[in-house]
């Protein structure tokens, strides 16, 4: 029997073709594609890196940091704020924003039931979809991006009460978060596809630099806090007069 061993071409098109095949084989092996008969599935980011040659880790939006205290602000009835504490150990900023977009849970609504003010609800319109545009942990300013469909840009003129509620919900929630690293958010600004969005405060007055903090919404005082303060003041006055 003749022991036949094919000879690889050393020059010309054949050599270049084999070189290309070997390069592809090395690339596939290094990317954890089928090896030893096993198929290792790639997630969408890995697939994008390999096929399109882009780095999905480079982005203008920093990773969302986990918060250790989660207090969400919603709207009570037609105006005032109501706060709830979700039983979650940690949550990222995107998860917090999604929670604000959705309605409070049934238990939270029942717990905050108010015969005078109305039920607990979210003021964020369905098409708003707020997301974290940018926030560096070395800075205290967070930038929120919203979809144009939410019409937040025109809301201060056309629906000022709702605009105030939307801004206060997001601003009070984000500035009240406690982060693992000790970083904090003290101001929030909003953008859509047209650029920075005008913000109105609790008095529905335009904030000059369009950056809002708790002080612009009466330090995020809730309906219950306001009522408790009024009751204490009334009791103090009665005691003094008596």
Give me the residue spans of the domains in the chain. 12-52, 66-227
The confidence score (pLDDT) of residue 45 equals 39
Residues 84, 213, 139: CA angle, nearest 5 degrees: 105
Q: Which of 15-24, 102-111, 144-153, 221-230 has the lowest mean pLDDT?
A: 15-24
Alpha-carbon distances of 216 from 27, 48, 78, 189, rounded to whole Å: 55, 43, 19, 13
The set of residues, in sequence order, having a beta carbon less than 8 Å from that of 61 and lying 6+ positions away, is 132, 133, 134
The pLDDT of residue 191 is above 80: yes
Q: Can you tell me the distance from the alpha carbon of 213 to that of 172, in angstroms, rounded to the nearest whole number?
A: 7
pLDDT tens readout for residues 74-85 = 999 878 999 998
DSSP 8-state symbol, 211: -
The pLDDT of residue 154 is above 60: yes
The pLDDT of residue 91 is above 60: yes
Average pLDDT over residues 124-135: 95
Alpha-carbon distances of 207 from 61, 210, 211, 221, rounded to whole Å: 25, 5, 7, 19
Q: Two tokens at 230?
A: 């009024």
SS3 239: helix
Is 0.85 topped by the overall pTM? Answer: no
Q: Two tokens at 139?
A: 């800075």
Average pLDDT over residues 142-153: 97
Q: Which residue has the higher pLDDT, 9 or 138?
A: 138
Work out the pLDDT band at 86, boundaries 50, 70, 90: confident
The pLDDT of residue 87 is above 50: yes
Alpha-carbon distances of 76 from 54, 88, 159, rounded to whole Å: 46, 22, 17
Q: Which residue has the higher pLDDT, 115 or 188?
A: 188
* Residue 194 phi, psi dihedral angles, 5° rounding: -95, -5
pLDDT tens readout for residues 42-63 = 333 332 233 223 233 333 444 5
SS3 121: strand
The confidence score (pLDDT) of residue 136 equals 84
**Highest mean pLDDT, choosing among 56-60, 219-223, 232-236:** 219-223
> Any bridge partners for residue 75, and if so which?
81, 121
Work out the pLDDT band at 40, boundaries 50, 70, 90: very low
């Amino acid at each position: 029997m003749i022991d036949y061993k094919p000879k690889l071409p050393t020059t010309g098109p054949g050599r270049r073709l084999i070189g290309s095949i070997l390069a592809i084989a090395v690339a596939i092996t290094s990317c954890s594609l089928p090896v030893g008969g096993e198929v290792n599935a790639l997630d969408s980011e890995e697939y994008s890196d390999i096929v399109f040659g882009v780095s999905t880790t480079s982005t203008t939006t920093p990773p969302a940091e986990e918060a250790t205290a989660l207090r969400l602000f919603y709207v009570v009835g037609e105006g005032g704020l109501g706060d709830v504490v979700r039983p979650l150990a940690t949550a990222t900023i995107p998860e917090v924003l999604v929670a604000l977009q959705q309605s409070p849970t049934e238990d939270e609504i029942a717990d905050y039931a108010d015969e005078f003010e109305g039920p607990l609800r979210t003021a964020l319109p369905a098409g708003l979809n707020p997301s974290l545009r940018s926030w560096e942990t070395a800075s205290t300013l967070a930038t929120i991006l919203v979809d144009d469909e939410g019409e937040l840009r025109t809301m201060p003129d056309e629906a000022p009460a709702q605009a105030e509620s939307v801004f206060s919900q997001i601003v009070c929630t984000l500035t009240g978060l406690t982060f693992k690293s000790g970083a904090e958010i003290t101001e929030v600004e909003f953008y859509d596809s047209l650029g920075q969005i005008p913000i109105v405060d609790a008095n529905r007055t335009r904030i000059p630099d369009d950056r809002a903090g708790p002080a612009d919404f009466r330090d995020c005082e809730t309906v219950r806090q306001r009522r408790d303060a009024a009751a204490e003041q009334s009791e103090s006055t009665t005691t003094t007069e008596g």
